[in-house]
Amino acid sequence: MRLHNTLTHREEKFFPKDGKTVRMYVCGPTVYDHLHIGNLRPIIVFGALRKYLERFKGWTVLYVENVTDVDDKLIERSKKTGDSVEALAARYTEAYFDLLRTLGTERPTASPRATEHIPQMVALVQTLVDKGYAYEKNGDVYYRVAAFADYGKLSGRRTEDQEVGARVALSEEKENPLDFTLWKRAKPGEPKWPSPWGAGRPGWHTECVVLSRQYLGEPLDIHAGGSDLIFPHHENEIAQAEAATGKPFFRFFLHNGMLNFHGEKMSKSLGNFAYAHEVLEKFDAETVRYFYLSRHYRKPLDFSDEGLEEAKKALARVETVIDEIEAEPAPETGEEAGPAGQAFLELLPGFRARYLAEMDSDLNTVGGLAAIQELVAETNRFRSTARGSDRQVLREAVALVRELGWPLGLFQEKGRVQKGLEDELIRLLIDLRAELRKKKEFALADRIRDRLTELGVELKDTAQGTIWT
């Protein structure tokens, strides 16, 4: 497998350094509000990468995602609402985990909260001070950027070229305007913890260094997040971690492209955004996942209802074929497929190989989805002519679709009732309708069909009999 490594600015062959366990860290939410649709992209993309590595590479993935529960944004929201920072963080952390459940995304291996690891962050800052990479001024501690020779190696920004501006806070306390904060002295009413420099709280960049090392150990394989985190967040993480340990930080840095909202850059400050949970109330989780995965993760993505509707249609084309095949009576056991069925079976490994090649090429989910769609189209073509024992191979094609869709969170069972008592009752009504039609009692037969349609059960009369979805 090859992945585009932001650190080296090229695609490189990826494998876990210890040969069996991938240690992966994804920057998680700052829980001051509900997540917006831009926050969904790394969750979906890197969650798919995790599941692909597990299912098709056979590796164990330790997947850590932090929860930032103390931050400037939380403090500002607390001032506006009157709620405590702790109460806000608890509310939106639970909302975040509810969102993961709704989305059908597997929980991280660990979701450490920043506030539960303050002593470890203090210890890291103290190490940097002791080594001359940091200094204290009036209770604040700053990182001395000029002391780290490799600063800028991730983003490609040379320190001498960086201008003092929007991204660089001016301060008379700093030796250099590029120096960033490691420890912030507490202001009245703000959350605070003890430290050698007085009461305060850690900076955001320090949090991820501590949590990734504590929960993943070594070697560190993949650090992922949105491309907006390349600078300054991930750049500042590298500067701290490598200065403190004298060793490389993560081997691979992966970054997803940004989300535009109806053709414009998305911004909460402009009100040009949508909350993720509101989108999931309008569109089901698989539609949302299909939408995000139908664009390569490193490219920008334009979010729109029209795009989601297209994803819904594409998903429906696959699910209709799956449903109709699975609704057919199970084939007789022990009956072998004929020459046409065998020829169709021989095509399936080729679709699987194409899917793997696409996914191995920098997680090209676009190509992976295309391989699945073509597999479904070929299955549908064969289904239109297959007779007798040849039809049994259709279920093997469906099994392959489900296998390939699993890392993407697509084409899986969605709770539709197809077995058990409900199935038996519907089959009973189908059989009764067939008997009525034989007796030419069409009005009553049509009434059964119409009532089932009202209940959301669609009947289709085929050459193999009546099937329902």
From 288, 282, 342, 355, select the one nearest 315 (Cα to Cα).
Answer: 288
Going from the C-alpha of 84 to that of each of 76, 77, 87, 94, the distances in angstroms are 11, 9, 5, 16
Query: Can you read off the two tokens belonging to residue 453?
Result: 């349609």
Block residue for tokens 């876990």: 16
Residue 173 has a CB neighbour count (10 Å cut-off) of 13
Spelled out in words, what is the top-level CATH class assigned to the domain 328-408?
A: mainly alpha
What CATH number was assigned to the domain covering residues 2-256? 3.40.50.620
Query: Can you read off the two tokens belonging to residue 151?
Result: 């600063």
From 309, 342, 364, 264, select the one nearest 4 (Cα to Cα).
Answer: 364
Instruction: For residue 245, count CB atoms less than 10 angstroms from its CB and return exposed for 0-12, middle for 13-18, buried for 19 or more.
Output: middle
From 62, 80, 197, select the one nearest 138 (Cα to Cα).
Answer: 197
Tell me how far apart the alpha carbons of residues 65 and 25 are, in angstroms, rounded to a whole number: 6
Q: Give 138-181 pLDDT, tens digit per residue.
A: 999 999 999 999 999 999 997 766 644 434 455 678 999 999 99
pLDDT at res. 97? 96
Global pTM reads 0.87
Q: Give 416-440 pLDDT, tens digit per residue.
A: 444 456 767 887 898 899 888 888 8
pLDDT at res. 417? 41
Q: List the chain domain ranges.
A: 2-256, 328-408, 421-468
pLDDT at res. 418? 43
Tell me how far apart the alpha carbons of residues 301 and 296 are, in angstroms, rounded to a whole number: 9
pLDDT at res. 332? 66
Residue 265 pLDDT grade (very low, low, confident, very high; cuts 50, 70, 90): confident
Q: Give 284-303 pLDDT, tens digit per residue.
A: 999 999 999 999 999 999 99
Contacts for 78 with CB less than 8 Å, ≥ 6 apart: 84, 85, 88
From 125, 246, 230, 115, select the one nearest 181 (Cα to Cα).
Answer: 125
Mean pLDDT over residues 205-211, rounded? 97
From 229, 232, 245, select the one nearest 133 (Cα to Cα).
Answer: 245
pLDDT at res. 466? 82
pLDDT at res. 167? 46
pLDDT at res. 331? 66
Angle at 10 between CA 4 and CA 13, to 5 degrees: 60
Query: Can you read off the two tokens belonging to residue 8?
Result: 């080296």
Tell me how far apart the alpha carbons of residues 165 and 175 are, in angstroms, rounded to a whole number: 16
Mean pLDDT over residues 28-34, rounded? 97
Tell me how far apart the alpha carbons of residues 343 and 65 are, in angstroms, rounded to a whole number: 46
Contacts for 54 with CB less than 8 Å, ≥ 6 apart: 60, 61, 407
Tell me how far apart the alpha carbons of residues 262 and 86 are, in angstroms, rounded to a whole number: 35
Average pLDDT value for the chain = 92
